[in-house]
Structure 1
């Protein structure tokens, strides 16, 4: 019996004396968009809970909310002027990379933690891991292609950081507005919430939401995916009919 008591005391000594947990919720887990969609927001609410033995953090809390869209294959191409014509001379294929990425926090990413932790948890656009299955004729140029990929997605609004995206309503209550831009891809989005203090992760919660198309756009997308042959024939017939109709309308007798 004494050995069991000793083991329990040893385990309690190893466990951290301070412990925080989070309770989070999204305003919706399913967002339907149409062709005239101009953007929206999904609100994340959360609270920080401490047990009776946990004391207040001297430096307060930091929060990082990381939103990742569906994984996809992306290609970055390099154009070179050859005999007066711009042609693609090199490219990189990046696999399993988020089609959308957003970091919402209460301070810049560099102020949340050191680079090693940010890179390990992929917190921040610069920490996104981009894997390429083909290095191309010049493997040393791959980082430049990765930088171009990040720059292009930033310009499209698909990769973004907002150092004021998290608001503390009280010392233990917070909210964050997750942007859903007009060109947001459809699919399942992962949301990771990191509670931090002094550059250390204290707790982590995960949730998700889905962006889907509705109306005629959803019908066309589903038809193209589920009935590819019939969709192709219908598109060809529509193109022929449109061409014939145009010739009739603009025919000169």
Structure 2
């Protein structure tokens, strides 16, 4: 709350010599993945610092994107060949965000033009960078659409139209929902100020998502000492089996 008040006070008293500048903040810049982590949310807030009010009749809008670490992948389509289901067509994707959320004050393409989307890669399809289809994939776009559909269903891709509250063309805020199945890494947060479907200012920051507690210790152990991790896993499995067997024997008496 203190950070929010400081941000808004700075925005109200800042002067920018005729320019308009975004002043932004987040409720936290780190997210810890623990044993009981079941998702979270991040408050994104800010204001537009300007030295004069907007002319009457003019309006501005806010578009916010949060992008998780990207990864290359192959999208495959199965087909029935000689009575057996097998991989038939595939599309190689150079990089696809593990998580991507778009929050806006209204329908996205009412706020930005397609040219601006191409420039900043704001919409979900343009956040995915595709190399191209294999020789057997005649319609690569269908594969990208299928990938977006699957990840949207899993909560990894979000389109939140109207989720950003923008008061008097000055103060804005929204909450970005994070699912439980987050990938570790730096999440890039971008905030766009738009007018007449053009981006007139942009703010960018990052949010770190890291494992914490026993999850972090086990992850580091598996990476740094895989042999010890394997022995420990085997010991835990044997112990669990022995305890289950002992409990079953006690119940039978």
- Contact 2:116–2:199 (Cα < 8 Å) also in 1: no
Per-residue deviation at 1:201? Answer: 1.0
The alpha carbon displacement at 1:223 in A equals 1.5
Q: 1:95 to 1:237 in 2, by over 3 A?
A: farther
**Residues 230 and 56 (structure 1), Cα distance of their counterparts in 2 relative to 1, 3 Å cut:** farther
Indicate the residue corresponding to 1:165 in structure 2. 163
3-state secondary structure, aligned to 1:131: strand
Q: How many residues were matched structurally?
A: 234
Distance 2:74 2:230 in 1: 25
Give the gaps of 5 or more residues in structure 2. 1-16
Which is higher, the Rg of structure 1 or of structure 2?
Answer: 1
2:40 match: 40
Deviation of 1:32 after TM superposition, in Å, equals 1.2
CA contact (8 A) 2:22 2:203 kept: yes
Q: Residue in 1 aligned with 2:127?
A: 128
User: Structure 2: how far apart are the matches of 1:103 and 1:120?
Assistant: 16
- The answer for the alignment partner of 1:88 in structure 2 is 87
- Checking the alignment, whether the CA contact within 8 Å between 2:61 and 2:169 is kept in structure 1 is no
Structure 1 CA distance for aligned equivalents of residues 83 and 58 of structure 2: 60
The answer as to whether partners of 1:57 and 1:197 remain within 8 angstroms in 2 is no
Q: Where in structure 2 are the equivalents of 1:203-222 lying within 5 Å?
A: 203-222=201-220
CA RMSD of aligned residues (A): 2.5
Moved more, 103-112 or 177-186: 177-186
Q: Which moved more, 1:111-120 or 1:58-67?
A: 111-120
Q: How does 1:186-197 map to 2 (within 5 A)?
A: 186-197=184-195
Among residues 219, 228, 231, which one is paired with 1:230 in the alignment? 228
- For the 8 Å contact 1:130–1:146, the answer to whether it is kept is no
Distance in structure 1 (CA, Å) of the matches to 2:142 and 2:183: 25
Question: Helix, strand or coil: the match of 1:35?
Answer: coil
Per-residue deviation, 1:225: 2.2
Deviation for aligned residue 1:212: 1.6
Is the CA contact 1:188–1:208 (under 8 Å) kept in the aligned structure 2?
yes
Given the alignment of the two structures, is residue 69 of structure 1 paired with residue 68 of structure 2, yes or no? yes
Deviation at 1:136, TM superposition (A): 2.1
Q: Deviations over 1:114-171 (max 9, x none)?
A: 2222132111213223223x73232433222211111111111111111112101343
* Moved >4 Å (runs of 4+): 240-252
Query: 1:5-47: CA deviations, max 9, x gaps?
Result: xxxxxxxxxxxx9521011011110111223222221111111
* TM norm structure 1: 0.82
Q: Is the contact made by 1:109 and 1:123 (CA closer than 8 Å) also made in structure 2?
A: no
Cα deviation, 1:175-203, whole Å, max 9, x if unaligned, reads 12121111222211001111001111111
- Structure 1: gaps spanning 5 or more residues: 1-16
| Distance of 2:75 and 2:246 partners within structure 1 | 43
